[in-house]
């Protein structure tokens, strides 16, 4: 019985030799790769703008809050208002100018200033006291919340986010941008002074995505 | 007697086997770690980054400070930084301070730096760090840089935030030329 047990046992000496050789080879490779790896620095990308033809979804960062600028709706309302003014003035250009300067059209948290509408420019005046969305934490921003919903519905291949950032709103902008980047959404941003007017129309600058 | 001698001369190596196996396991892990480090930057490109995280919130850990910023950003060219304050601009490398008055003088340090970058625009580009209340100045600077066909990066940089600038070898060369 004891003989049978001895006969069934496997001789592992040769396997041990192979393993020992393997350890030696691995140590050698690790030494070589270690020397290489020690010289390598972690590459942190730096900002670089590039032109893009993606459709822009525009968000203003003001009072450390986010406000969406619905450009399509603004254009639609502006055209409606211009048609009304044209009808009211009945071809009298002085009256047209007067009505353009006086007329205020509200779209969301903004009023449209049509003073320069004849040159194709529409200015947006923020409505005082209008509350935006305070994105306080990126951890708690889920797709059922205001900004999370925008991100969830955005197609990164076709659309991008453009932020118009006021001086007082760097923090909320960076939170929003970090969330967008997490979803691989391209982001462009423009710095605005506190009193800068947001103006849309021909002759603007090309916004570079980053 | 002979059997006892044989038993004494033979060393039992089976107990050594698990140790060898564990050593091999550890070495394989080390090898994988080294390989991952090498793969992350195979050509060992070094660029100077002063922005190390997607977020900056003083006194608050968000977990994203160390997360790689600029997922669509530059990984090849060496950036030259223009730190734009409301009343002056600091140029890196060199930490040269240029006041708004200096900008009116032809051949000022900013112009010289732009000339230098323009000559080597395949390897260098400009990153503007815009502090609060610098919207108009940064807009003008951007136009100036773009008019020379130099690539441009743009980052909003908080008023109180320090620029931690550790130049790479290539930037030092540019600094010497300047």
Closest by Cα among B79, B149, B55, B72 to A210:
B72
CB burial string B39-50: b at 16+ within 10 A, e below: eeeeeeebbbbb
Angle value at C-alpha A181, between A178 and A183, nearest 5 degrees:
115
Q: What is the per-residue pLDDT for B66?
A: 47
Task: Decide if A75 touches B, using CB distance below 8 A.
Answer: no
Question: Is A23's CB within 8 Å of B45's CB?
Answer: no
Question: Is B68's CB within 8 Å of A44's CB?
Answer: yes
User: Taking the mean position of all CA atoms in its chain, how far away is CA B170?
Assistant: 12
Q: Which of A30, A173, A193 sits opposite B27 (nearest CB)?
A: A30
Q: What is the per-residue pLDDT for A37?
A: 81
In a domain, A90, yes or no: yes
B-chain CB neighbours of A17 within 8 Å are none
Q: What is the per-residue pLDDT for A1?
A: 46
A-chain CB neighbours of B126 within 8 Å are none
In a domain, A24, yes or no: no
Task: Decide if B10 touches A, using CB distance below 8 A.
Answer: no
Q: What is the per-residue pLDDT for A166?
A: 92
In a domain, A173, yes or no: yes
Cα distances from B27 to residues A34, B19, B23, in angstroms, run 12, 12, 6
pLDDT in tens, chain B (178 residues): 455 555 555 667 778 888 888 999 999 999 999 888 888 777 666 777 777 666 776 665 555 554 557 888 787 888 889 999 999 999 988 888 988 888 888 888 999 999 988 988 888 899 999 999 999 899 899 988 989 999 998 889 888 888 888 776 666 556 555 5
In a domain, A112, yes or no: yes
Separation in Å, CA of A194 to nearest CA in chain B: 8
The residue written with tokens 């030494």 in the block is: A31
Q: What is the per-residue pLDDT for B84?
A: 93
Domain count, chain A: 1
Task: Decide if B23 touches A, using CB distance below 8 A.
Answer: yes
pTM value surpassing 0.80: no
In a domain, A102, yes or no: yes
Asked if residues A84 and A75 have their Cβ atoms less than 8 Å apart, the reply is: no
Closest by Cα among A109, A8, A83 to A100:
A83
ipTM of the complex: 0.74
At A170, list the tokens.
Answer: 């760097």
Could you give the residue ranges of the DSSP H alpha helices within B60-155? Answer: 109-119, 135-147
* B34 sits in which H/E element: helix B16-40
Task: Decide if B170 touches A, using CB distance below 8 A.
Answer: no
SS3 A161: strand
Q: What is the per-residue pLDDT for A83?
A: 87
Task: Decide if A115 touches B, using CB distance below 8 A.
Answer: no
In a domain, A85, yes or no: yes
Could you give the residue ranges of the DSSP H alpha helices within chain A? Answer: 2-8, 13-39, 71-89, 93-102, 146-153, 170-182
Closest by Cα among A51, A186, A206, A163 to B130:
A163
Which stretches in chain A have pLDDT values below 50? 1-5, 7
């Amino acid at each position: 019985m004891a003989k049978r047990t001895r006969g069934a046992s496997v001789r592992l000496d040769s396997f041990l030799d192979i393993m020992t050789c393997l350890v030696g080879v691995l140590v050698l490779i690790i030494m070589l790769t270690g020397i290489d790896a020690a010289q390598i620095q972690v590459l942190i990308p730096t900002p670089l703008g590039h032109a893009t033809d993606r459709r822009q979804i525009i968000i203003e960062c003001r009072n450390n809050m986010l406000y969406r600028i619905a450009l399509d709706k603004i254009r639609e309302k502006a055209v409606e208002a211009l048609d009304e003014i044209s009808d009211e003035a009945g071809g009298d250009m002085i009256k047209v100018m007067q009505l353009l300067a006086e007329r205020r059209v509200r779209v969301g948290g903004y009023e449209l200033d049509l003073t320069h509408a004849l040159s194709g420019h529409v200015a947006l005046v923020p409505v005082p006291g209008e509350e935006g969305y305070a994105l306080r934490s990126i951890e708690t921003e889920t797709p059922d919340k205001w900004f999370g919903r925008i991100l969830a519905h955005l197609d990164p291949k076709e659309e991008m986010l453009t932020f118009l950032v006021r001086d007082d709103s760097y923090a909320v902008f960076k939170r929003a941008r970090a969330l967008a980047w997490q979803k691989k959404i391209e982001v462009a941003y423009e710095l605005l002074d506190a009193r800068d007017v947001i103006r849309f129309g021909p002759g603007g600058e090309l916004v570079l995505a980053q | 007697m002979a059997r006892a001698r044989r038993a004494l001369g033979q060393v039992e190596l089976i107990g050594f086997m698990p140790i060898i196996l564990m050593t091999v396991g550890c070495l394989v892990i080390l090898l994988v770690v080294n390989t991952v480090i090498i793969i992350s930057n195979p050509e060992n490109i070094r660029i100077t980054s002063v922005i190390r995280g997607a977020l900056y919130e003083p006194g608050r850990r968000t977990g994203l400070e160390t997360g790689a910023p600029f997922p669509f950003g530059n990984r090849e060219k060496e950036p030259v930084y223009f730190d734009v304050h409301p009343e002056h601009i600091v140029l890196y490398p060199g930490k040269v301070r240029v006041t708004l008055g200096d900008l009116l003088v032809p051949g000022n340090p900013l112009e010289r730096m732009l000339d230098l970058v323009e000559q080597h625009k395949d390897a260098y580009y400009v990153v503007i760090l815009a502090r609060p209340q610098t919207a108009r100045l940064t807009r003008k600077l951007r136009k100036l840089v773009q008019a020379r066909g130099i690539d441009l990066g743009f980052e909003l940089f908080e008023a109180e935030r320090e620029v931690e600038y550790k130049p790479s070898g290539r930037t030092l060369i540019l600094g010497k030329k300047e």
